[in-house]
A and B are shown apart, each in its own frame.
Chain A
Amino acid sequence: SAVISQKPSRDICQRGTSLTIQCQVDSQVTMMFWYRQQPGQSLTLIATANQGSEATYESGFVIDKFPISRPNLTFSTLTVSNMSPEDSSIYLCSVEYFKVRHREAFFGQGTRLTVV
């Protein structure tokens, strides 16, 4: 399994500001994934981050709002820009490992964001 560290674990931010969330993995991975979980909802994939290339965003998510960096194979950041109360969610970083003919997902502890 993977050890995935996310920072910060939680934050309360003013609307109109930006927050950068960091994700560190204890081993090299090709792809890292960022999810959003709105209150009472399930997880929605925001984007897939590959090292050395631009992130691939899912429908409904854009780079200007959620810029992602992936400087190396163990680290990624997600920025939530120009925040509004609707951005209040848990943001989760995930990696997947392929082993013995299967692909398994692991998650960080999440960042609980409240926008006021």
Chain B
Amino acid sequence: KQEVTQIPAALSVPEGENLVLNCSFTDSAIYNLQWFRQDPGKGLTSLLFIQSSQREQTSGRLNASLDKSSGRSTLYIAASQPGDSATYLCAVRPLEGAGGTSYGKLTFGQGTILTVHP
């Protein structure tokens, strides 16, 4: 069974810092990995999406990397801003079926609560 762990559970940084959020997963047979942002009491916003054959994806100040063999992904946020304060969730979709020909349902990590203070 796939397990997804996110470290740290919470992070507080001053504005302007570059920071890294970590996501690890136990089964490297994944189809893709997705990073989400969740504001308090709200739904999820998709940030970045990495297919298993890719190493990284970038969107603005965000960069996500994937090392499938070691079961790790990182989300790098450059020049953090107070508006970046939210919970960041990592979700992994496994490969399934004979020869990994299909994919399963998303498994989510517990999230990292990020606070960026002015």
Contacts and interface: CB of A to CB of B under 8 A. Distances in A.
Contact of A109 (B31, B42, B89): B42
B11 interface: no
A85 B44 CA distance: 24
Q: Is the interface of B mostly helix, strand, loop or mixed?
A: strand
A110 B81 CA distance: 25
A10 B43 CA distance: 12
A57 interface: no
Nearest to B34: A105
Interface in A60-116: 90, 92, 94, 101-110, 112
29 contacts: A10-B41, A42-B89, A42-B110, A42-B111, A43-B44, A43-B89, A43-B106, A43-B108, A45-B105, A45-B106, A48-B105, A92-B43, A92-B44, A94-B44, A101-B51, A102-B49, A102-B51, A103-B32, A103-B103, A104-B32, A104-B34, A105-B91, A107-B36, A107-B44, A107-B46, A109-B42, A110-B41, A110-B43, A112-B41
Interface of A: 1, 4, 6, 10, 33, 41-43, 45, 48, 90, 92, 94, 101-110, 112
